[in-house]
Amino acid sequence: MKAMILGAFGGPESFELRDIPKPVPQAGQVLVRVYATSINPLDYQVRRGDYSDLVPLPAITGHDISGVIEEVGPGVTSFIPGDEVWYTPQIFDGPGSYAEYHVAAEGIVGKKPASLSHLEAASLTLVGGTVWEALVVRAALRVGETILVHGGAGGVGHIAIQMAKAMGARVFTTVREANAEFARSLGADVIIDYEKEDYVDAVIRETAGRGVDVVFDTIGGDTLSRSPDVLAQLGRVVTIVDIAQPQNVVQAWGKNASYHFVFTRQNRGKLDELSALVARGQLRPRIGAVYSLADIPLAHARLESRNNGIQGKIAIAVEPSLIP
């Protein structure tokens, strides 16, 4: 099988497309023919060596899979060959998704929603599970509450807007002017052009000084230290960013605020919850660009660039027939 191999930590040029043996499923595992994957910030963080202690080289990286069951190992009861599935491979525990085939434990694999294409499904597994963990499990966002989603046009942010609306929240989001209509089409109620206005001023004005109940940080910078300025009493801050931020958050004490640091966990239950939202028409990933398996280095370079023009996710068509 063909696989994109990371031979050394560094830039996008660190990848090499190679032919390697196809894996064999063991007890409790399934062999999946990978039709599509996608690119996330986690992917380029792994590639450049941010988690070098956890990733032995050479490695197959990548964190989203949509494909078809080709073979099942002994003891597998949930799937048969031919089933369309989607999942996030175990992070930092075995090969990832940048390959034509992947072996996974039965318990982390879900049935792909029939209404999603493989490219769409592969653009939702990691970010969808992350947003579910952040908003449902950790922030416990409730009907009628308000939420500020930083980076609403991004891969995570555009899913967060849709999920927050499905949960009955009023959604504020920060985007560039060029992405305002995109964010509005996802359901955002208040669009803040962060290049023209300080988001703190905008939130305080739009909430008549009350602030928002939840802040969802997908961008880093000084969001943690500034979040108390936009929080309502008993507000919650959820961040998925793993880079150092100023964290002088003593003002949060006066708001009785809580902070949550989220690193998503893999399980079929989250995928089933996401499938229900998809089936109800409340959630759908948007794809801003599609690349081939061989062009993963180009996809990484584009996602890392500051003004990449991407709305939503960059998808990878591992199956050549899926390339537009």
pLDDT tens string 101-151: 999 999 999 999 999 999 999 999 999 999 999 999 999 999 999 999 999
Cα–Cα distance measured from residue 83 to residue 260, given in angstroms and rounded to the nearest whole number:
36
What's the pLDDT tens digit per position in 46-89?
A: 999 999 999 999 999 999 999 999 999 999 999 999 999 999 99
pLDDT at 250: 67
Q: What is the pTM of this model?
A: 0.94
Amino acid at 39: I
pLDDT at 184: 97
**Could you list the pLDDT tens digit for every one of the 324 residues in the chain?**
999 999 999 999 999 999 999 999 999 999 999 999 999 999 999 999 999 999 999 999 999 999 999 999 999 999 999 999 999 999 999 999 999 999 999 999 999 999 999 999 999 999 999 999 999 999 999 999 999 999 999 999 999 999 999 999 999 999 999 999 999 999 999 999 999 999 999 999 999 999 999 999 998 888 888 888 999 999 999 999 876 655 666 677 778 888 888 988 777 889 999 999 999 999 999 999 999 999 999 999 999 987 888 999 999 999 999 998
Backbone φ, ψ for residue 55 (5° rounding): -125, 95
277, 13 in Cβ contact below 8 A? no
Cα–Cα distance measured from residue 147 to residue 73, given in angstroms and rounded to the nearest whole number:
44
- Fold match flag (2-124+285-322 vs 127-261): no
| Four-way CATH pick for 127-261: 3.40.50.720, 3.40.1550.10, 3.30.1490.190, 3.40.50.300 | 3.40.50.720
Cα–Cα distance measured from residue 70 to residue 84, given in angstroms and rounded to the nearest whole number:
10
pLDDT at 233: 95
Question: Where along the chain do its domains lie?
Answer: 2-124+285-322, 127-261
Residue 177: strand pairing partners: none
pLDDT at 308: 85
Residue 24: count other Cβ atoms within 10 Å of its Cβ: 11
Sign of CA dihedral 54, 56, 61, 65: negative
pLDDT at 8: 97
Q: Which of 3, 34, 37, 33 is nearest to 18 (CA)?
A: 3
pLDDT at 268: 87
Q: Is CATH 3.30.420.40 what the domain over 2-124+285-322 is classified as, yes or no?
A: no
pLDDT at 196: 95
18, 5 in Cβ contact below 8 A? yes
Task: Tell me the residue length of the chain.
Answer: 324
pLDDT at 220: 83
pLDDT at 12: 97
> What 3-state class would DSSP assign to 161?
helix
